[in-house]
Each structure stands twice: as C-alpha cells, then as structure tokens.
Amino acid sequence: MERIRQGRIVDRIHPPRRDVLRAGGLLLGALGAPAFLSGCGTSAGRAGNILRVSQPGDPKTLDPQKQGDMVSMNVLINMFDTLTTRGRDNQLHPRIALSWTATDARTWRFRLRPGVTFHNGEACDAHAVAFSIERLLDPATKSPIVELRYVKDVAVVDRLTVDVHTTVHDPILPAKLSLFGGVVVPPRYLSEVGDAGFAAHPVGTGPFTFVSWQRDHELRMRAYDGHWQGRPSVDGVVFSPAPNASSSLAALQSGGVDLVAGLTPDAAQQLDGYSGVSLDGFTGIRTSYLSLNTLEKGPLQDRRVRQALNHAVDVPLLIKAVLDGKATETPALIPRGAFGFDPSVKPFTRSVKTARALLAEAGYPHGFSTTLTASNVDSNVAEALSGLLARAGVRARVNLLDPGTYAARLTSDNRGALGPIYLAASTVWTLDGESMVQSNVRRDRRQSRWHSAEADRLIDIEELSQDPAEREKAFSDLQRLMREEAPFVFLYQIDNIYARNSRPHWKPGSAGVLAMESAVISR
C-alpha cells in the first residue's frame, strides 16, 4: 500500500485501515460511521438458506420502468426478467426472448420463450412485451430510461413473436433490452392495481417474488417455484442498505448480511483483514470521469486549459494511492471490454510542468479557481482530485452533495446544475461504447456540455450504422477527437469489489449486476 505525500509515493509496511492522502497540502478525511441496523433479526447460525445482501442504498422505486439507477436495478433484476441478458462471459444470451433478428433496417424481430408466467399466473407473451415497451415510451410514465429513444412502436406478430420498429436503425437494440429497457411487466395486473399499486407490490416473471419492503431497512423476496429456468438454489434474498464500511463490517460480523456489494476501494480497505470477512475483486466496466462545462464563459472554454487538467491529474497515482490499485486507467472515456475501445489511443502524459505551461499559454499563468462537485459517496476521490489539480495551480473547491441531490441535478435539464466541473461515473452495461457516450457527448443530449459538429457526426454513425466496422472506426475517431479536445478529464474504470462471509458462492459479470439466481449458500 502507498500513499501520496507532497506528490511523492511513500511505501508503508503496515498501512492504517484509514489511509491519508496528502497532495498539495490536502488532507483526505476518513469515512463516516453511523450505526447500522440490519433488521434481519438473525445471526449467521440461524440464517438458513436465505441470502442477505447489502449495497450502498435503497431502491428509488419498485416500478422498474420509473427508475434508471443501478442500486434500484440490482434489486429489481431479481423480480423481473428482461428480453435478453448479459452472461458472466459478457456475451448476450436469451432470456424472455429466445432469438432476435433484424428483418430490415428498422425492424428487430424477437421470438419469445413459451410457457413463461408472471408471479400472479398471468401469461408473459407477445402482448405483455409490446405493452411493456410501449408503457416505458409513454410520456405519462415519465421513465428516465433513455436507451429505447429510437423505438417507434411494437407490433404483435403472433402469440410469441414481436416486431420492434425503430425510427432509424439501432444496431445494439438487443443489448439495450438486457437490463433497464428490456424489463417485461404484467398488463392485466397493472390495469387492476394501477401504477401506485404496482410499485407497492411489484409482480414480475423473475426468479424471486416480492414479499415486503421497509424503506431504508430491508426488502425481502422469496424464490419463485414456477420460474421458467427452475427454482433458484436459495430460498430467498434480503436486500438492505449499508451506507459505509463501518456499517458493512458490523452487518457481516453480526450475521446480518452475507454479501456486501458496491464497495469503494477505501471502504474495502477498512474491511480487509477482519476475521470471517473475505474480499473479492472482479474487473469492472463502471467508468469515472470529470465533466467539464465548456459552454459557459470561462477557462474551461479553452481547449488548452482542458488539456492542462488532464495532464495535471495523475490517474495512475490516484489509482495506486486512493483506489488501492483496484481500477484501470481509461484514455478517452470508453472503457476496455466495451465495443469501440481503441487500444491505440493513449492516455495523457502526467506532467504538472506541461499543465502549468498550457495554463500560462491560455492566459492563466497563476492558475484559476473553480468548483468540483461530487456525491459524498465519492468524497475521497473528489478531494484527491482537488489536491492533484492544486499542484498545477488550479484551485478546485470540492462541493459534496448527498446522493439524492446529486442524482436529481445530474438528470435535470439544467446542464450547469452541478457547476463547472463534476465527478461522474457510468456503468456501460450494454458493453458497447454507445452507452458511455450517449447522454454526455452529442449536443442534444441532457448531459452534454460540449458542442462539436464532428462529434455529433461520429455519434450518428456509431449509433445508426448497420456496419460494425464502420461503427468501430467512428468510435476510434471519436476517442481521438475527445483526446484532442479534452471535454472531460478521463479517469478510470473501477473494479467490482465485494465483501462476504463464508456462506455465499456467487460471481458477477463485469457490470456487477446483483442477479442472485445463480447464488449458492454453503450449508
């Protein structure tokens, strides 16, 4: 383990659990530690065949088409099936849909699995699939899910076949239906109970059925005997929120939970070495970056300033000293493992001298002051970034927001709601570069803070072309353009880190989705 002290790496033989990072005189504080109430009412010895899982927060809603965040989806994917799925081999596999084919440039045909039923006995057929997609697209639903923007309508061909019509060719529509956009909901049940009733007692076709939810406490579900893939190995799953490392440790040691997901590297470091706690790390696809507001008058409108910020932020040092080595540098936003990643595009050289020279050339020889906004979940990384920027003369005051406020501002129509610079991350769950750039590059997208006609042209090619080689070239050209124009500070893709006791056996895919149907508990 190393730490940063005045810009130098210092080896430590016995590092403290709560590491301190000093960069440019910055002190990085430790995580807070409010008490955690597991609420499960059992010890590990009485847990039986129930799997207890915690993650940093609670679902926003149990209506799968009215949420767009991974914390919510991690719970909902256990109660709802999707048309396709991404396997642990990171390949696209059948789920509700057995096969899919592009019958023409604007039509995808999906043939459905026979015999699938919702938890209430309602048939999951072509009508249910068409209803689900149309409900998601209906403005009245107010869905934050954006992946199906090119879908025009859905036609029922026969009981087990649907045609999804798009306004333009969408080359990765089947992948978009593997998570958020592909959830199938029950038409008859929704008509009976309405949206509010559905969110209060969700009914899907997934491997587990809903039992109860006490917000900010626990959500319980039980195995569905009638699942088309067979009954899961575990009898039930309990999800509970654990907001920090201390609460995770307390829950693990008391037997309140078996598996803790969504751990940051510094939180994992605090759990490392405790008896009965194992840490598992897997290469992830979630990619972090700094969004720079190039649209408002000020230093960030100058390309040289934006390049200077990339030179100033020593990403390898950040990964080593703050993330405990549990991340991989990304050179131009698109992560390794996603279609479109170009290994020939290299990261910025890390040089404070180069950064200062570029700032002086742009008219800022003494640097400038700005604000860096982040969720308080990412406080350590944000403070470290501020310290690294300070070495080049950029005084970035850190503005930390609670996760709810941060998310609301991020998805608002106000592109300046999070200030001139904000720390963000995206899980590229389709494993296609389109998912990484779709919302924050093209000028008409809600999180775009950079206008480039050439970037828009390349986005159109990679989103609409039927030729994979043409799409791949567009991605390469876009990454080279972003590397030159630097509308972001490119950071890293972080590992998926889990803490567990000895009971559960489970392995995630690179997106880290908490689909627990494959989990097994040791007896």
52-56, 384-388, 401-405: segment of lowest average pLDDT: 401-405
Statement to judge: residues 107 and 232 lie in one domain: no
Domain end residue (candidates: 191, 222, 243): 191
For the domain that residue 162 is a member of, what is the CATH number? 3.90.76.10
Token pair 């991605």 in the structure block, residue: 475
Residue 197 located in a structural domain: no
Q: Could you report the per-residue pLDDT of 140-192, keeping only the tens digit for each?
A: 999 999 889 899 999 999 999 999 999 999 999 999 999 999 999 999 999 99
Residue 354 CB contacts under 8 Å (≥ 6 apart), including other chains: 308, 311
Which carries the bigger pLDDT value, residue 201 or residue 169? 201
Report whether 490 contacts 484 (CB < 8 A). Answer: no
Average pLDDT of span 92-116: 96
φ and ψ of 205, to 5 deg: -115, 10
Residue 316 CB contacts under 8 Å (≥ 6 apart), including other chains: 329, 350
Q: Could you report the per-residue pLDDT of 81-91, keeping only the tens digit for each?
A: 999 998 888 88
Residue 451 located in a structural domain: yes
Which two three-digit tokens encode residue 220? Answer: 């319980």
Statement to judge: residues 512 and 489 lie in one domain: no
Residue 201 located in a structural domain: no
Predicted pLDDT at 353: 98
Predicted pLDDT at 256: 87
Residue 324 located in a structural domain: yes
pLDDT-derived band at 288 (thresholds 50, 70, 90) equals very high
Statement to judge: residues 367 and 442 lie in one domain: yes
Statement to judge: residues 95 and 214 lie in one domain: no
Angle ∠(93,96,99) on CA atoms, nearest 5: 55
Which carries the bigger pLDDT value, residue 333 or residue 246? 333
Residue 31 located in a structural domain: no
Statement to judge: residues 423 and 454 lie in one domain: yes
For the domain that residue 424 is a member of, what is the CATH number? 3.10.105.10
Statement to judge: residues 241 and 154 lie in one domain: no
Statement to judge: residues 294 and 428 lie in one domain: yes
Predicted pLDDT at 189: 98
pTM exceeding the 0.75 threshold for the entire prediction: yes
Domain span at residue 48 reads 44-59+206-277+501-521
3-state secondary structure of 284: strand
Residue 67 located in a structural domain: no
Output Rg (C-alpha) for the chain, integer angstroms. 23
Instruction: Domain count for the chain, please give it.
Output: 3
Statement to judge: residues 454 and 315 lie in one domain: yes
Statement to judge: residues 329 and 465 lie in one domain: yes
Statement to judge: residues 235 and 356 lie in one domain: no
Residue 402 located in a structural domain: yes
Statement to judge: residues 445 and 304 lie in one domain: yes
Predicted pLDDT at 243: 75
- The backbone region for 170, taken as left when phi is positive above 0, alpha when psi lies in -120 to 50, beta otherwise, is beta
DSSP-derived secondary structure letter, 347: P
Predicted pLDDT at 47: 61
Statement to judge: residues 446 and 507 lie in one domain: no
Torsion of the alpha carbons at 139, 144, 145 and 151, rounded to the nearest 10 = 20
Predicted pLDDT at 439: 81
Residue 199 located in a structural domain: no
For the domain that residue 223 is a member of, what is the CATH number? 3.40.190.10
